[in-house]
A and B are shown apart, each in its own frame.
Chain A
Amino acid sequence: METQPLPSEKELVARLKNNDVALFDQVVKEYHSSMYAVAYAIAGSSIADEVVQEAWISAINAIHKFEGRSALKSWLIRITANEAKSRLRKESRSVSLEAVNENWATDTRFTQRGHWAEGNPEWDMSSPDELLSADELKDCLKKHIDRLPDNQQQILNLRDIGGLDMETICNILQITASNARVLLHRGRDKVQQVIAKFQRTGEC
């Protein structure tokens, strides 16, 4: 579902300030998914939709003041993150690396000496399009991503699905860059394992 690419930042912002509804429509479709991933990661699924709508409304109200010092997308993501944080009533979730390291010690993919126990076969489906065309696999991935520890799930949504940069993520989650990379890698590794198993056995 490829749409036309958006115009350059400068033109984009100028036209948005000038009541270009068709372009606004395109911008919403283009950035909604990333904004949703960020809202979801910070505020949870029950209010993520609301947060995104509120963020768009804040953006619409402030667009005439937007000076283009950052990219429009970063600006929208920042508004979304702020909106999400202001709605969050729960205690902020703490980052624990202990559970992560425990799992690592008992990873059955490897022998005691750290070799692949049964090798690592090539994937039949490998391009993003191929992988994303398999609905069963997507459902399976959603299920497993939902089961990831909160902080791994958050960072996978913020970084890989939402496209936020690591520095901003560290600010939002209040964690160090090296912790962020460990959590991100655990999440990605899990997704890799789910895809690998699905390709090997056809099962979730």
Chain B
Amino acid sequence: MLSCKHIVDLGTDYLDQELGFWKKTEMKMHLMICRHCRRYMKQLKQTIAMLSRWQLKQPTQEQLEQLKSKYQQTVSEG
């Protein structure tokens, strides 16, 4: 029997389809009866979605201008 702690531990393997047939089946059954773990899996997906949308760093105006003039210069000569 998988405990809730096991389910939490297998979250990424489950999402990436890396679990074998029986583990996956066990996990699905656990998720059917346990709302806390169901919520955890939902929250894990939300966490990943947030991270992928997080524009942690935009170029500064100065960096951008520098690259644009380098680009214009190089490509027009090319």
A interface residues, Cβ below 8 angstroms from B: 1, 16-19, 21, 24-25, 28-29, 32-33, 36-37, 49, 52-53, 56-57, 60-61, 63-64, 104, 107, 109-110, 113-116, 119-123, 126-129, 131-132, 138, 156, 160-161, 163, 181, 184-185, 188-189, 191-192, 195-196
Contacts and interface: CB of A to CB of B under 8 A. Distances in A.
B5 A107 contact: yes
A21 B72 contact: yes
23 contacts: A18-B75, A19-B71, A24-B68, A33-B56, A33-B57, A33-B58, A52-B59, A53-B63, A60-B70, A104-B9, A114-B5, A126-B43, A131-B46, A132-B53, A163-B52, A181-B12, A181-B16, A188-B48, A188-B51, A191-B51, A192-B44, A195-B43, A195-B47
Contact of A181 (B8, B13, B63, B76): B13
A196 B4 CA distance: 17
A192 B67 contact: no
A116 to B, nearest CB: 5
Contacts of B75: 16-19, 60, 63-64
Interface of B: 3-6, 8-9, 11-13, 16, 18, 36-37, 39-40, 42-44, 46-59, 63-64, 66-68, 70-72, 74-76, 78
> Main secondary structure on chain A at its contact with chain B?
helix
> Main secondary structure on chain B at its contact with chain A?
helix
